[in-house]
């Protein structure tokens, strides 16, 4: 009886083990997952109670919030590579849907307005700053360079490979990839999304995932490393720049620009003043030397002859 019981128990464990191992999030390494019922796996964002839909990308706002969690709070599920350089990262305020709140503030009561990509679009102000709306980032321009190879790739092959990458890895519909331009080694990609249906991913989230992938700090699990190949040859991305274009222009005032222009004008005037002063001094010295020479000649002419 005991051997039979052992066999049955082993079968149960063998069946249960894969189900437990499968309770992971394929699109977010910072998600904490647990089975709350037979075949039901629930994943939530690390450090918060927000549920995560692992069939699509997690919003950039939630991702930034997860990155700001102190390491001691993330020690059980921190990725092996840890959190990369936090330059440009802040602890954002998010709506329940995952979008950024229009106004963001830090702990010192300094506030600013952001777009749907979480990028600041106004100067920083006090807690009384009013951000009337969350302006949508309609276009995103991605520029990247790849390591030079013996021969350049064909333009259609590069466009096809990148389109497949964005569609398969980041769930982005190809209709939002409106242009891919290739001039070796520079590649330019334009994402255009005027309005986002609920069932589509946001291009701001796509750009953030892609940036993290390129910087070797992927949001995906560690076994899902970014690889881009063109007809079987690796496309090694070297540098990356991302530019955001909103539906409305940013609202930066001219104070910083005026201050910069004022500084430049001051430097120019000081340089010109110093130059003029140097010229006047040199002229004075030249004139003084000439006068001394002239006086010496006059004295020699007026001196009485000794003969």
Domain spans in the chain, listed from the N-terminal domain onward = 31-69+88-252
3 state DSSP class of 199: coil
Residues 31/44, Cβ–Cβ less than 8 Å: yes
* Prediction pTM value: 0.69
Q: pLDDT-based confidence at 19, cuts 50/70/90?
A: very low
Q: pLDDT-based confidence at 160, cuts 50/70/90?
A: very high
Nearest of 187, 202, 124, 130 to residue 154 by alpha carbon = 187
Give the residue, 200 or 277, on which the prediction is more confident. Answer: 200
What's the confidence (pLDDT) of residue 80?
33
State the Cα–Cα distance between residues 242 and 233, nearest whole angstrom.
25
The pLDDT > 70 percentage for the chain reads 73
Residues 187/154, Cβ–Cβ less than 8 Å: no
Residues 99/116, Cβ–Cβ less than 8 Å: yes
Which two tokens mark 230? 């063109």
Positions of E strands within the chain: 31-37, 40-45, 103-105, 111-113, 137-146, 177-183, 186-192, 229-230, 233-234, 237-246
| Alpha helix (H) residue ranges in 169-254 | 203-214
Residues 136/247, Cβ–Cβ less than 8 Å: yes
Name which of 113-127, 173-187, 249-263 the model is least confident about: 249-263
State the Cα–Cα distance between residues 111 and 125, nearest whole angstrom.
5
Tell me the chain's radius of gyration from C-alpha atoms.
Answer: 33
Nearest of 26, 31, 25, 59 to residue 44 by alpha carbon = 31
Question: Can the peptide bond before residue 185 be classed as cis, meaning omega within 30 degrees of 0?
Answer: yes
Task: Return phi, psi of residue 148, to 5°.
Answer: -70, 140
Q: pLDDT-based confidence at 10, cuts 50/70/90?
A: very low
| Tokens 């991702």 sit on residue | 63
Name which of 90-104, 162-176, 255-269, 271-285 the model is least confident about: 255-269
Residue range 109-128: mean pLDDT, rounded: 91
What's the confidence (pLDDT) of residue 225?
83
3 state DSSP class of 6: helix
Residues 202/193, Cβ–Cβ less than 8 Å: yes
Nearest of 77, 79, 21 to residue 44 by alpha carbon = 77
Q: pLDDT-based confidence at 291, cuts 50/70/90?
A: low
Q: What angle do CA 145, 82, 142 make, to 5 degrees?
A: 25
Give the residue, 2 or 236, on which the prediction is more confident. Answer: 236
3 state DSSP class of 237: strand
């Amino acid at each position: 009886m005991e051997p039979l019981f052992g066999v049955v128990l082993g079968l149960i464990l063998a069946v249960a083990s894969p189900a437990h191992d499968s309770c992971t999030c394929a699109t977010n390494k910072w998600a904490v997952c647990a089975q709350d019922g037979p075949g039901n796996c629930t994943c939530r964002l690390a450090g918060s109670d927000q549920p995560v839909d692992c069939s699509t990308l997690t919003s950039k706002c939630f991702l930034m919030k997860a990155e700001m969690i102190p390491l001691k709070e993330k020690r059980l599920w921190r990725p092996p590579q840890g959190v990369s350089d936090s330059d440009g990262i802040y602890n954002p305020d998010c709506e329940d849907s995952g979008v950024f709140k229009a106004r963001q503030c830090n702990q010192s009561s300094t506030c600013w307005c952001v777009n749907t990509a979480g990028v600041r679009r106004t100067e920083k102000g006090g807690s009384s700053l009013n951000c009337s709306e969350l302006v949508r980032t309609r276009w995103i321009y991605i520029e990247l360079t790849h390591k030079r190879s013996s021969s350049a790739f064909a333009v259609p092959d590069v466009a096809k490979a990148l389109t497949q990458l964005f569609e398969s890895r980041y769930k982005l519909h190809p209709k939002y990839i409106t242009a891919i331009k290739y001039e070796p080694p520079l590649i330019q990609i334009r994402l255009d999304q005027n309005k986002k249906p609920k069932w589509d991913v946001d291009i701001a989230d796509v750009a953030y995932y892609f940036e993290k992938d390129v910087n070797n700090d992927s949001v995906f699990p560690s076994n899902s490393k970014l690889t881009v190949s063109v007809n079987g040859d690796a496309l090694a991305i070297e540098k990356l720049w991302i530019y955001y274009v909103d539906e409305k222009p940013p609202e930066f005032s001219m104070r910083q620009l005026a201050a910069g222009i004022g500084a430049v004008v001051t430097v120019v005037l000081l340089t010109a003043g110093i130059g003029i002063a140097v010229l006047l001094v040199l002229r004075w010295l030249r004139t003084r030397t000439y006068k001394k020479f002239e006086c010496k000649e006059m004295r020699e002419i007026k001196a009485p002859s000794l003969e």
